[in-house]
Amino acid sequence: MCTVCGCGQGETKIEGESHEHTHVHEDGTVYSHSHGHEEEHHHPHDHDEAHAHPHESQEHLHVHDDGTVHSHGHVHEGGHHHGHEGLDIHFGHGPAHAHAPGMSQARMVQIEQDILSKNDAYAGENRRLFQEHGIFAVNLVSSPGSGKTTLLVRTISALKGRHPVAVVEGDQQTSNDADRIRATGAAAIQVNTGKGCHLDAHMVGHAVERLKPADNSLLMIENVGNLVCPAAFDLGEAHKVAILSTTEGEDKPLKYPDMFAAADVMLLNKVDLLPHLQFNVPLCIEYARRVNPNLRVILISALSGEGMDEWLGWLEDNLKAAAARREETVAQLRQRVAALEAEVARLKG
Amino acid sequence: MHEMSLAEGVLQVIEDYARKEGYRRVKTVTLEIGRLSGAEPEAMRFCFDAVVRGTLADGAALEIVETGGSGWCLACGKTVPLEARYDPCPDCGGYQVQATGGMEMRVKELEVE
Ligand SMILES: Nc1nc2c(ncn2[C@@H]2O[C@H](COP(=O)(O)OP(=O)(O)OP(=O)(O)O)[C@@H](O)[C@H]2O)c(=O)[nH]1
Ligand SMILES: [Mg+2]
Ligand SMILES: [Zn+2]
Ligand SMILES: [Zn+2]
Ligand SMILES: [Zn+2]
Ligand SMILES: [Zn+2]
Ligand SMILES: [Zn+2]
Ligand SMILES: [Zn+2]
Ligand SMILES: [Zn+2]
Ligand SMILES: [Zn+2]
């Protein structure tokens, strides 16, 4: 459990998946979630592999080829893939991995690997999928209650009939927000992170494979309300959009700079309340640009609709660009296929 | 920042390499943490010990190499040293500084057996 912000792992639930289930990906990640067997995972993993480090259950002694003796416990089904060639001497239950003194052989292994490389690899897969399908994906990040879901509902209504919209909802508990989105007629899927305080790219990959957003659609990902760690987790989105509401105080960008540095757009929401508050808008924008000089700021009210045109304009420009990039890729592929076919025809002569 | 998830990331990297490199136990983990990465070395140690309990890195020593921060100041037109991510330029006091070094969070090397 996270002592900094209270997150933990292993309790993720993706709505609509049929049974609880642990699977081991090809790369060895053990992922516990529920899902139906009909669907395809778009990232490769193996449902059969049973033996993942660290070993569990039976304790026993290993004598390696080089004479090293050590004891540990492990499951015997699934075979070893860590190269124990020696004999197994079972001796009941002892401490796991208690090495015989003086017989171990330490060595150094150079790694040079980014700590978040796993998440980043999943994010890369998501991003590739979005690009292939012309999907424009935004990751909405904010404190709890800044107005993310209200804004999503209003955005979906405004785009109705013009652009298909799909939503991934991240919350620790409840499917309330996904229910609010579905009431608009848009497709939504709830991811409950349990103790986890952010969405990661692996969860989003699984959610998207259930959601199956249409080509050239808008995918909005509402992250868990938290101004801290969602900043560090790439989900494969095109842009992070930070939402700050006027009731939170203008110094939030200085208090939680990573989030405002990671975002490309800041929506300053609940501006309808400004007459009742002591909130200095220019100072807030100055603070935000101090941590991110290129930040685009839009003043908005999800309640009154003020500022919605600018926000919708930004979304539509990006939707067009994503669709155009996909067209271009498809046209290039067609050209290549045509060239190959011509070549085949020429060879057949 | 978010050291618990980072510690879990470290464990994932260690477990990945265990299969590739064929080690069964990790005695020392060396991390490189940039001063501008947002990760706190002390919080990192605390979370690491909790996360690796019961794994192949249980009880492993954690060594953290901290690397200094630097940034490009637009006004001065040069690279300047930075103590923290959102600090002003130490020369001109301006905030138009783009962080360029010291953001890394990396597993550097392991002592294994
Ligand atoms: N006055 C005003 N209230 C708003 C506005 N936007 C949202 N609210 C209110 O703020 C409260 C929280 O809104 P939500 O949309 O649930 O916020 P959220 O960010 O999705 O919340 P979590 O998902 O729980 O983090 C609700 O009572 C909304 O009616 C706004 O622009 N103006
Ligand atoms: Mg919400
Ligand atoms: Zn956390
Ligand atoms: Zn299954
Ligand atoms: Zn699965
Ligand atoms: Zn062994
Ligand atoms: Zn064995
Ligand atoms: Zn988190
Ligand atoms: Zn998976
Ligand atoms: Zn300067």
Q: Cα(A20)–Cα(B42) distance, rounded to whole angstroms?
A: 36
Helices (H), A173-295: 176-182, 201-211, 252-255, 257-262, 281-291
Positions of CATH 3.40.50.300 in chain A: 119-327
Q: Cα(A225)–Cα(A174) distance, rounded to whole angstroms?
A: 13
pLDDT at B100 over 70: yes
Q: Looking at this predicted complex, what is its ipTM? A: 0.87
pLDDT at B67 over 50: yes
Decide if A75 contacts A55 (C-beta within 8 A).
yes
The predicted structure's pLDDT at residue A52? 32
Residues of B in contact with A4 (CB under 8 A): 1-4, 43, 47
Tokens for B51? Answer: 């996360």
Decide if A127 contacts A211 (C-beta within 8 A).
no
Scan for tokens 């999943």, then name that residue: A122
Mutation target to probe the A interface, by most A beta carbons within 10 A, among B2, B14, B49, B82 is B2
CB contact under 8 A, A29 and B85: no
The predicted structure's pLDDT at residue B86? 86
Q: Cα(A169)–Cα(A155) distance, rounded to whole angstroms?
A: 15
The predicted structure's pLDDT at residue A64? 53
Q: Which of A21-30, A141-150, A218-227 has the lowest mean pLDDT?
A: A21-30
Strands A88-90 and A59-63: antiparallel
Summarize the confidence of residues A278-301 as an average pLDDT. Answer: 96
The residue type of B103 is M
Confidence band for A66, pLDDT divided at 50, 70 and 90: low
The percentage of residues in chain A with a pLDDT greater than 90, rounded to a whole number, is 64
Q: Which of A68-77, A318-327, B49-58 has the lowest mean pLDDT?
A: A68-77
The model carries a pTM of 0.77
Is the CB of residue A225 below 6 angstroms from any atom belonging to ligand 1? yes
Closest CA to A178 of A195, A209, A153: A153
Beta strands in A209-270 (DSSP E): 218-222, 239-245, 265-269
Q: What is the mean pLDDT of chain B?
A: 93
Give B63's Cβ-side CA count (13 Å radius).
10
* Ordered strands of the A59-63 beta sheet: A69-73, A59-63, A88-90
What confidence tens digit (pLDDT) does each residue in A6-55 have? 344 456 778 876 544 555 555 555 555 544 444 444 444 443 333 333 33
Class of A119-327 in CATH = alpha beta
pLDDT at A105 over 80: no
Domain annotation for chain B: domains and CATH numbers: 3-68+102-112 (3.30.2320.50)
CA A122 to chain centre: 8
The predicted structure's pLDDT at residue A25? 54
C-alpha angle A223-A228-A229 in degrees, rounded to nearest 5: 65
